[in-house]
Amino acid sequence: MFDRGRLATLLARERATYADRNPRSAAAYARAEHLLGRTPMTWMNKTAAGFPLYLSAARGAHVTDLDGHDHADFCLGDTAAMAGHSPAPVVEAVQRRLADQGGATAMLPTEDAEIVGAELARRFGLPLWSFALTATDANRWAIRLLRAVTGRPRILVNSYCYHGSVDETLIVVGPDGRPRSRAGNVGAPVDVLTTSRVAEFNDVDGLARELAHGDVAAVLMEPALTNVGIVTPDIGYLAKARELTQRYGTYLINDETHTFSEGPGGATRAWELQPDVVTIGKSIGGGIPAAAYGVTTELADTIATRSDLDLVDAGGIGGTLAGSALSVAAMRATLTSVLTDAAFEHMISMARAFAAGVRLVLDRHGLSWSVCQLGARVDYRFVSPVPRNGTQSAAAADPELEDYLHVYLANRGVLLTPFHNMALMCPETTLDDVARHQESFNAAIKELVD
């Protein structure tokens, strides 16, 4: 397909160019002596070029780095900025809450919260909602509730799923077909094999086999895998998963944090799914920390009968800043004025154009790669056909090739999600932004294969 030696040469050239282009970012990184890993969060060291770009400004679908370079941003904060950077309705709502009304958080509810809950109910079909600050917490609190009401100890997830840093989810199917802790799991409080079960995505028989043990409180799943590259469900798989969970008395949680890209009500609404719980985070606050989980009336009634559960004080379901006045003001503005039905129509049309552009480049250069679209999100992989489960998707990774593409694009003003070749559209993404990616992507491939 291409020469690996040439790939190494091109990658070295692009990294040198990156260093030359970004002296201020390099200097800021070098000065960061009081930050663990030199970054505010250690995952910011996931970079193709040795040091991260530093943010100077961001508006809409563009960011400007510390050295003054404008970038068409298809990373969008790994979904956290799916509404675009600093959307005007959110800025106005946050300023009004902080400057005019006052009180970012006060342990008192605001009327915004009911409006947000009603809008989430309209979109996802579950009537009752509670708030968190991250999807990790929303997932963590949901599974604690479901353990409590079922009396069952285990959670089941898909191999190479992503649900934040929830301890129970860091489990994969090993090469021998047996479960094992995911490589790199940091400081697990207990062996994940004692808390969790795992099945491959799209494996109905594997899911049935694991549920048959009778000890699974909940299946926590993304309707389509996203963080290991997009893996979409086979026809009928999600319906069968729902039937199996009901057969074995297991609750089903849809984590829509990334699959929200499929439409205004995520995959749950677009694909007419019927989970017991929906969790969602990142994007619904327009950049302000926000997350939520919704439950069915039946589940809420079951919880209400449990007088032994401490849901008010220190029972483990809560957080002082969750549902704060500032957070729900941002969610209200994002959901009612930014990530609207019309906005999703535009975002999805941009994603179609992006995917078509990538396919055109691949065909032009005779590359047997694959492209997958999930609403406003597009991913291209170095294999064809598209992987059917997380293990296959992880095995298809090519870190050196991925780094080459990422740093090449960054040097020409295009940012992808650093963890994979993922591109997300926001309401202000334009065809010019899409064309900028296609032009640079074509140039990168041409240099590699010609």
Is the distance from CB of 328 to CB of 110 less than 8 angstroms? yes
pLDDT, tens digit (0-9, with 9 covering 90-100), for 83-102 = 999 999 999 999 999 999 99
> For a pLDDT cut of 90, what percent of the chain falls above it?
96
Q: What is the mean pLDDT of residues 137-160?
A: 97
Count Cα atoms within 13 angstroms, Cβ side, for 291. Answer: 28
- Nearest-CA neighbor of 382 among 13, 7, 5? 7
pLDDT, tens digit (0-9, with 9 covering 90-100), for 291-318 = 999 999 999 999 999 999 998 887 778 8
Exposure string of 31-57, with b = 16+ CB inside 10 Å and e = fewer, is ebeeeeebbeeeebeebbbebbbbeee
Q: What is the mean pLDDT of residues 55-76?
A: 98
> For a pLDDT cut of 70, what percent of the chain falls above it?
100
pLDDT in the model for residue 52: 97
Structure token pair of residue 98: 């902080």
pLDDT in the model for residue 271: 98
pLDDT, tens digit (0-9, with 9 covering 90-100), for 183-231 = 999 999 999 999 999 999 999 999 999 999 999 999 999 999 999 999 9
Q: Place 331 in a pLDDT band, splitting at 50, 70 and 90.
A: very high
What count of other Cβ atoms lies within 10 Å of the Cβ of residue 197? Answer: 22
pLDDT in the model for residue 314: 79
Is pLDDT of 145 > 80?
yes
Is the distance from CB of 128 to CB of 294 less than 8 angstroms? yes
pLDDT, tens digit (0-9, with 9 covering 90-100), for 398-418 = 999 999 999 999 999 999 999
pTM here is 0.97
pLDDT in the model for residue 60: 98
pLDDT in the model for residue 214: 98
Count Cα atoms within 13 angstroms, Cβ side, for 119. Answer: 20
Structure token pair of residue 246: 């009901």
pLDDT, tens digit (0-9, with 9 covering 90-100), for 262-275 = 999 999 999 999 99
Strand 62-65 to 70-73 pairing: antiparallel
Q: Place 2 in a pLDDT band, splitting at 50, 70 and 90.
A: confident
pLDDT in the model for residue 227: 93
pLDDT in the model for residue 27: 98
Is pLDDT of 1 > 90?
no
Is the distance from CB of 112 to CB of 323 less than 8 angstroms? no
Strand 55-59 to 62-65 pairing: antiparallel
